Structure 1
Amino acid sequence: MSLTVFVTGATAGFGKAIAERLVGDGHRVIAAGRRAERLEALQAALGDRLLPFVLDVTDTSAVAALPSSLPEGWREVDVLVNNAGLALGLDPAQKADLRQWDQMVATNITGLMHMTRALLPAMVERNRGHVVNLGSIAGSYPYPGGHVYGGTKAFVKQFSLNLKADLVGTMVRVTDVEPGLCGGTEFSTVRFSGDDAKAAAVYQGTEPLTAADIAETVSWVVNLPGHVNINRVEMMPTCQASGPLAIKRQG
């Protein structure tokens, strides 16, 4: 069955890989993001099963206008992949930039909420749909400098579970995909304000997850039979694990 899938943050990283994979699966993908030229290049590569759609998920007016602003034939969205998100900075909380905190909350929480609220009612009305949220293991395991980013991903996890509670008895599914260390994307470059060397050091000596691994997981949960709901997928590379509690000893 061919589905119409809306993927946010599709200009790079997870979103681009997810769009490519789902088109390869035979679905139609609305690839949304802020960088029009990248979306157009993606359409040129993938063909007319991909619709480029310029959208900033922090633009509440534009998000509220969905899906009526989509072209005819693309308005019945079967799957929403809330992928748009970012981490900014790694300073301790007492030194962090409040503007970065606000931007993470606006994108990772408010943008995801508004996108879901815009497209969910029609899914419920049709009694068919799937909301796939991109969370993170940072929502479960704290680390120094993770403060607001981890907090936003903890929200994504709980929001996903509560959505499922609201939707029980319908055929609308909700999944939170929670990756750990993942390389080959812009994630760390964005976090460190374009410092490529600092970003590369995060993955030095590791074999991290890749965007293709995340796309594979999204493909799996989306293509399962309609009565199967995967609540959460927590995934890490074999080089990563949760650590012991930190203890600061005196003397």
Structure 2
Amino acid sequence: MSRFKDQVAVITGASNGIGAASAIALAREGFQVALGARNTEKLADVAQAIEAESGVKPFMMELDVRKEADVKAFVSAVAEKFGRIDVLLNNAGLAKGVTPVIEEEDAENWDQMIDTNVKGLLLMTRETVPHMIKGGNGHVINLGSIAGREAYAGGAVYCATKFAVRAITDALRQELLGQPVRVTTVDPGLVNTGFSVVRLGDQEKADAVYAGLTPLVAEDIADCVVFAATRPKHVNIDAIIVKPTDQAGAGKVARR
């Protein structure tokens, strides 16, 4: 019997990629999982896969982390169903475009990245952590990026959002000192998911990002999430930086 069978993990952006892989991996460890995403059709597929493997039906609900009302309704529904929240994986996030700052004509791209990657993370954290404190057990895991540690041309706003995630993570850890809540950031390099398609708007361009090298896959990052979440309560993994062997930094890759 899993020692996590009574614990509840909330995953945002759980309909695909790292979010979906992490939800499946956490459920495999015995966690009850609550899935949120905008695409409910894909979310249902993830929930079905989890139920088929574990026999336990996950909680799922439409969620746009950019909308405060959505976040409040989602967290309230999770708390009502399970009576507790133990893990929050702030995974929802995106990059839009690679246009230099002075050439960007569509500020909507900036708004989407800032509202999702930063504001959404803050809203989810604010609403869930009080439940963790009340339950005497909690862990906030933020999905960052090496872009939050090393800025690059064409990524000013995306990098800024991920630098913000790292700052929020570090500040939150200090703010919660003395409370039964751990705080972790997982910062990947190149991961072959739908991320680059969303960013570049084209599958061929996205494929070129990973051409000639072996990138990470969503399951690799899910492994990191599970590792952090399953440590003993007195152990806090502050940060995990994970890159493919073929990558040494942003834009520093070996291609064959």
Q: 1:57: Cα distance to partner?
A: 0.5
Range that drifts further, 86-95 or 66-75: 66-75
The percentage of counterpart residues that share the same residue type is 43
State the AA in 1 paired with 2:186.
V
CA contact (8 A) 1:128 1:171 kept: yes
Q: Equivalents in 1 of 2:118, 2:168: separation in Å?
A: 9
Q: 1:25: Cα distance to partner?
A: 0.9
Q: 1:71 to 1:155 in 2, by over 3 A?
A: closer
Aligned length: 242
Q: Equivalents in 1 of 2:58, 2:38: separation in Å?
A: 16
Which of 196, 201, 223 is matched with 2:203 structurally?
196
Q: Equivalents in 1 of 2:11, 2:75: separation in Å?
A: 13
3-state SS, counterpart of residue 67 of structure 1? helix
1:74 aligns with 2:85: no
Q: Equivalents in 2 of 1:60, 1:186: separation in Å?
A: 26
What RMSD over aligned residues (CA atoms) do the two structures have, in Å? Answer: 1.5
- TM-score, normalised to structure 2, is 0.91
Gaps of 5+ in 2: 252-256
Q: 1:64: Cα distance to partner?
A: 2.4
Look up the match of 1:84. Answer: 92
**Cα deviations across residues 191-247 of structure 1 (Å, max 9, x unaligned)?**
012x10001000000111110000000000000000100111111111111379xxx
| Mapping for residues 35-114 of structure 1, pairs under 5 Å | 35-47=39-51, 48-70=56-78, 72-96=80-104, 97-114=106-123
Look up the match of 1:249. Answer: none
Which of 163, 177, 185 is matched with 1:154 structurally?
163
State the AA in 1 paired with 2:217.
T
Q: Equivalents in 2 of 1:72, 1:124: separation in Å?
A: 16
Q: Equivalents in 1 of 2:222, 2:101: separation in Å?
A: 32
3-state SS, counterpart of residue 227 of structure 1? coil
CA contact (8 A) 2:191 2:217 kept: yes
Gaps of 5+ in 1: 245-251
- TM-score, normalised to structure 1, is 0.93
Q: 1:73: Cα distance to partner?
A: 3.4
Q: 1:171: Cα distance to partner?
A: 1.7
Q: Equivalents in 2 of 1:75, 1:216: separation in Å?
A: 27
Q: Equivalents in 2 of 1:45, 1:229: separation in Å?
A: 30
Q: Equivalents in 2 of 1:32, 1:242: separation in Å?
A: 31
Which of 1, 8, 15 is matched with 1:4 structurally?
8
Which of 14, 19, 23 is matched with 2:23 structurally?
19
